[in-house]
Amino acid sequence: MDVVDGYDPWDPGELVGQRLAERYWIGAAAAIGPLASRFKAADLASGRDVCIEVRSVRISSAPGACEHSPAGVRHPNIADVYARGITSSGIEFVVLEPLEGELLSSRIAECGPLRAQEAVEIAASIGLALGALHARGLVHGALSASSVLLAQSPAGGREVKLVELLDTRPGDARVDVAALAALVHEMLTGSPASQAGSRPSRWTLARRSQRSSDAAQVPELERVTARALQGDFSSANELSSALWWGLAQAKAGGRVSSSGVSAPPPRVARSLGAGLLLGVIVLFCTIALCAVSGGAPPGIEW
């Protein structure tokens, strides 16, 4: 096998039915990806079920087997990390809580673009998770649709969980913010966002696959996402707030001006102006008629 930057390619599927680091029995594959793969597993030392993520390349000159407990970031939208390690054969792995669910990438591949409301809800959950990492000076480093799990909660609902945590490390939070913006584009269009330098490429929305109720919402979210890809937001939570604002304005039939202040569409503005003028005319005529007849409008004393 070729060695690239100190790594050897390998087939993670070889682990099924084997022991990893002499402690974890590897069961069925839950997800096989180009960067990392996740397996159902059992911790033979504690007897509990776990998930194991392994990198899709091996370190060609591993210093030796090691395992340590991470300084984990506990958050409802981040999979709990029990341990990290490297085997003597150079396999990097992370031990996670047991998870069941569907990868966001699989959902998009099977169902196409998501509803605008659902896309913003998922993005908001991811934003909270990234905010917790960034508060500790860490970045996810590999955010994509394949690193977001739509997991089943104990109560039977749905939880959004960040997985693929092999690349979590100290870094610049703007890397994750840009990745989240690209992910929102993918959720809305069904295809990944391409970037040329720091500017987004021309949007290629699959309009026919969008529901009619999203017709006014998607363009508003496009503008927010385009700003994020250009570096206008310094944090994931700031981007999430802007997405919620854009969605709310689109649902209300308004638009967001360049200053961020909402304004009604021209047709609505004209209707409001005409209604106000008519009301003033009616009030003036009523007062004039009452003055001529010597009376007063109900509730008004001269």
> H helices within the chain, ranges in order?
104-111, 116-135, 173-189, 217-229, 236-251, 266-293
Kindly indicate the confidence band of residue 267, based on its pLDDT and cuts at 50, 70 and 90.
Answer: very low
Q: Are residues 144 and 190 in the same domain?
A: yes
For residue 233, pLDDT over 70 is answered with yes
User: Considering only 28-42, 50-64, 115-129, which range has the smallest mean pLDDT?
Assistant: 50-64
Rg over CA atoms, the chain = 27
d(CA 133, CA 118): 23
Residue that is last in its domain, among 72, 96, 120: 96
Q: How far is CA 204 from CA 34, 191, 194, 219, in A?
A: 25, 9, 10, 11
Which pLDDT score is estimated for 56? Answer: 86
Each residue of 287-302: pLDDT tens digit? 666 666 665 555 545 4
User: What pLDDT score does 106 carry?
Assistant: 93
Range of the domain at 158: 101-263
Q: 257 and 129 in one domain?
A: yes
On whether residue 1 sits in a domain, the answer given is no
Q: Are residues 150 and 204 in the same domain?
A: yes
Residues 52 and 138 grouped into a single domain: no
Average pLDDT over residues 274-293: 64
pLDDT digits (tens, 9 = 90+) for 198-222: 343 334 444 434 454 566 688 889 8
- The CA distance from 177 to 228, in Å, is 7
**Distance from the Cα of residue 87 to its chain's centroid:** 32
Side-chain-side CA neighbours of residue 242 (13 Å): 26
